């Protein structure tokens, strides 16, 4: 890893071959390939993180410079693209000092980026920081050393199709027996033929075990990673493989059986099944999860909530799930929401990207498509047009439930708003009901029922209307553009 970091941008295929050749003499060709690939992937990961940090610094500097250029107490103007100014002279001075600090950081990052130099800690920077604060963390030096060595030690090998059980380096049979191909310097430790070391313990895969068994039985490639968990005192084996690409299905075919609209929130997912006409069917569902605690606990909570959501979609008979295309990257900045630290923390911990990526991968296993729609005004318009009409004495509809209907209707191509309510008794219709939904073939804006000329409706005949020569006014409010409906095109993430 140190040799790869020293090469920086000068690394190429020839340099990779040289490093692999040097390691081959000390171990073997297989282990040399695994080691060089793992170190190159780690360097590439640090490089991507460096690029993300550089982009974040540039965005912060641009935001602060824009606000410093505004007068104190100036209000924002979205039409002119002007941001609000700082509230006091003290805040303005503090932000100007922070601007110089961020510029110094950006200069250092730019120098590292140009030179191809990355900074990484094998085992984790956070764990290395704990070494200097053992009393605060409640760990002894021995306990910390065990965790440090466990984080830095792992055994990984890629699979090979056509080889026995899909992996020649770390082989796991269909009965769970594990054997490792030892390198040449350790060949004298082999306890099995052909220089292999056979472990006493057996392996069981509780998650997707049958799928793993089908692959190793057919000698298809399976990659393994062996690591040690110090807290539990156990060794774990992680198996992974590449899945075939999901078939591409037309969006109309996916939405033919309706859709399950989902409104993502900080502590739960609000879901409601909609038919092809955009009508809510059944009762709303909520799938709660807890984002507090360790990262492993948060991932387990998200997986459990998404699993229940997918099972609900299959029970409803829907072949698609509509979600909001959310991105809170800009919203976590202090320049965006000021001193509202609680709201910024809420946006920071909300796993929008992870939730979407995990939902897409899990839905592919269930043959369910994911459709991402624009999240603009879904909560506001859903509460305005759907919360009150669907609320009954025995069923209380929340704002999030109404937002899930708005998300589903936008995915289906329908406008979010309902039909207009019937007029008063002294008008054309006598308590006529006009809140029903339009048929599936209607894609235009749902307006009031047209007035038919005649004595019953007291409407002017078409002949008189033509004589009047009415036309659309030239004002903006009465223009033809306003009378046309705007529809959000759905963006399929996976079909």
| One domain for residues 74 and 13 | yes
Picking from 183, 218, 240, the residue at the C-terminal end of a domain is 240
| One domain for residues 366 and 233 | no
| One domain for residues 183 and 69 | no
Do the domain assignments include residue 272? yes
- Nearest-angstrom CA–CA distance, 59 and 63: 6
CA distance to 126, 299, 305, per residue, from 293 (Å): 16, 10, 16
Pull the structure tokens for residue 166: 């899909």
> Does the pLDDT value for residue 332 go beyond 90?
no
Pull the structure tokens for residue 400: 């999030």
- Nearest-angstrom CA–CA distance, 1 and 279: 58
278-296 pLDDT, tens per residue?
999 999 999 998 877 777 7
CA distance to 41, 213, 226, 359, 360, per residue, from 300 (Å): 26, 24, 21, 13, 16
pLDDT at position 361 = 84
Q: How many residues does the chain have?
A: 495
Under DSSP, the state recorded for 448 is: P
pLDDT at position 483 = 40
- Nearest-angstrom CA–CA distance, 336 and 149: 41
| One domain for residues 295 and 214 | no
| One domain for residues 224 and 268 | no
| One domain for residues 273 and 418 | yes
**Which burial class, exposed, middle or buried, applies to 138 when counting CB atoms under 10 A from its CB (0-12, 13-18, 19+)?**
exposed
- Nearest-angstrom CA–CA distance, 303 and 292: 15
50-69 pLDDT, tens per residue?
999 999 899 999 999 999 99
Mean predicted confidence (pLDDT) in 115-139? 91
> Does the pLDDT value for residue 474 go beyond 80?
no
Between residues 20 and 417, the one the model is more confident about: 20
Q: Is 482 left (phi over 0), alpha (psi -120 to 50) or beta?
A: alpha
- Mean of the per-residue pLDDT values of the chain: 82
Do the domain assignments include residue 246? no
| One domain for residues 177 and 203 | yes
pLDDT at position 481 = 38
| One domain for residues 115 and 175 | no
Do the domain assignments include residue 138? no
**Which burial class, exposed, middle or buried, applies to 412 when counting CB atoms under 10 A from its CB (0-12, 13-18, 19+)?**
buried
pLDDT at position 355 = 81
> Does the pLDDT value for residue 339 go beyond 90?
no
| One domain for residues 199 and 314 | no
pLDDT band at 343 (very low <50, low <70, confident <90, very high): low
- DSSP H/E element including 492: strand 491-494
Q: How many domains does the chain have?
A: 3
Contact 258, 273 (CB under 8 A): yes
455-469 pLDDT, tens per residue?
544 444 444 444 444
Whole-angstrom distance between the N-terminal and C-terminal Cα of the chain? Answer: 40
Do the domain assignments include residue 125? no
Picking from 94, 120, 146, the residue at the C-terminal end of a domain is 120
- Nearest-angstrom CA–CA distance, 233 and 235: 7
Q: Which domain, by its residues, includes 48?
A: 2-120
- Nearest-angstrom CA–CA distance, 297 and 119: 28
> Does the pLDDT value for residue 448 go beyond 60?
no
| One domain for residues 236 and 257 | no
> Does the pLDDT value for residue 121 go beyond 80?
yes
pLDDT at position 286 = 92
Picking from 218, 240, 262, the residue at the C-terminal end of a domain is 240
- Nearest-angstrom CA–CA distance, 140 and 129: 14
- Nearest-angstrom CA–CA distance, 443 and 316: 25
Residue 270: HSE in the Cβ half-sphere, 13 Å Cα cutoff:
21
Which of 298-302, 341-345, 426-430 has maximum average pLDDT? 298-302
Q: What residue spans of 206-294 are helical by DSSP H?
A: 209-217, 251-254
- DSSP H/E element including 50: helix 29-68
68-82 pLDDT, tens per residue?
999 998 888 888 888
- Nearest-angstrom CA–CA distance, 1 and 122: 9
pLDDT at position 153 = 87
Mean predicted confidence (pLDDT) in 442-453? 49
Do the domain assignments include residue 149? no
Do the domain assignments include residue 326? yes
Strands 259-264 and 320-324 come out as: parallel
Mean predicted confidence (pLDDT) in 227-248? 86
| One domain for residues 413 and 462 | yes
| One domain for residues 75 and 199 | no
DSSP E strands in 125-264: the ranges are: 155-157, 170-172, 177-181, 196-202, 223-229, 234-240, 259-264
> Does the pLDDT value for residue 28 go beyond 80?
yes
254-270 pLDDT, tens per residue?
899 999 999 988 888 99
Do the domain assignments include residue 127? no
Do the domain assignments include residue 144? no
pLDDT at position 165 = 93
133-154 pLDDT, tens per residue?
999 989 999 999 999 999 988 8
Percent of residues, the chain, with pLDDT higher than 90 = 42
Pull the structure tokens for residue 218: 């057919």
């Amino acid at each position: 890893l140190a040799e790869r970091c020293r090469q920086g941008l000068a690394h190429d295929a020839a340099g990779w071959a040289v490093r692999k050749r040097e390691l081959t003499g000390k171990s073997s060709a297989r282990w040399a390939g695994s080691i060089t690939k793992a170190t190159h992937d780690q360097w590439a990961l640090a490089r991507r993180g460096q690029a993300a940090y550089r982009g974040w610094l540039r965005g912060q500097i641009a935001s602060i410079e824009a606000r410093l250029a505004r007068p104190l107490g100036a209000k924002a103007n979205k039409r002119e693209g002007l941001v609000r100014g700082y509230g006091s002279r003290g805040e303005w001075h503090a932000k100007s000092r922070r601007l110089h600090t961020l510029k110094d950081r950006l200069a250092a990052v730019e120098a590292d980026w140009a030179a191809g130099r990355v900074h990484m800690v094998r085992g984790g920077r956070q764990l290395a920081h704990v070494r200097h604060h053992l009393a605060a963390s409640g760990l002894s030096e021995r306990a910390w050393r065990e965790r440090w060595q466990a984080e830095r030690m792992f055994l990984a090998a890629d699979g090979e199709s056509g080889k026995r059980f899909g992996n020649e380096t770390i082989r796991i049979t269909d009965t769970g027996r594990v054997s490792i191909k030892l390198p040449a310097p350790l060949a004298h430790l082999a306890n099995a033929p052909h220089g292999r070391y056979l472990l006493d313990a057996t392996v069981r895969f509780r998650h997707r075990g049958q799928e793993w068994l089908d692959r190793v039985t057919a000698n298809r490639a399976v990659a393994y990673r062996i690591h040690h968990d110090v807290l539990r005192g156990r060794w774990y084996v992680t198996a992974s493989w590449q899945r075939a690409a999901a078939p591409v299905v037309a969006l109309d075919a996916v939405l033919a059986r309706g859709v399950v609209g989902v409104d993502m929130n900080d502590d739960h997912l609000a879901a409601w099944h909609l038919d092809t006409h955009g009508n809510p069917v059944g009762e709303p569902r909520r799938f709660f999860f807890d984002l507090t605690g360790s990262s492993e606990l948060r991932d387990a909570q998200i997986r459990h909530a998404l699993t229940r959501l997918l099972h609900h979609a299959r029970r409803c008979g829907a072949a698609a799930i509509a979600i909001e295309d959310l991105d809170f990257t800009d919203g976590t900045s202090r320049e965006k929401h000021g001193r509202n630290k609680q709201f910024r923390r809420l946006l920071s911990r909300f796993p929008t990207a992870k939730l979407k990526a995990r939902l897409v991968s899990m839905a592919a296993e269930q043959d369910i498509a994911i459709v991402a729609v624009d999240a603009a005004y879904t909560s506001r318009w859903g509460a305005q047009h759907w919360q009150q009409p669907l609320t009954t004495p025995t069923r209380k509809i929340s704002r999030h439930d109404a937002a899930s209907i708005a998300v589903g209707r936008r995915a289906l191509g329908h406008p979010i708003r309902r039909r207009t309510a019937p007029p008063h008794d002294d008008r054309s219709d006598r308590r006529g009901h006009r809140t029903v939904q339009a048929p599936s073939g209607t894609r235009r804006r749902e307006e009031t029922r047209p007035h038919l000329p005649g004595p019953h409706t007291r409407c002017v005949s078409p002949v008189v209307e033509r004589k009047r020569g009415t036309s659309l006014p030239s004002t903006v409010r009465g223009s033809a553009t306003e009378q046309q409906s705007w529809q959000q095109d759905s963006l399929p993430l996976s079909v």
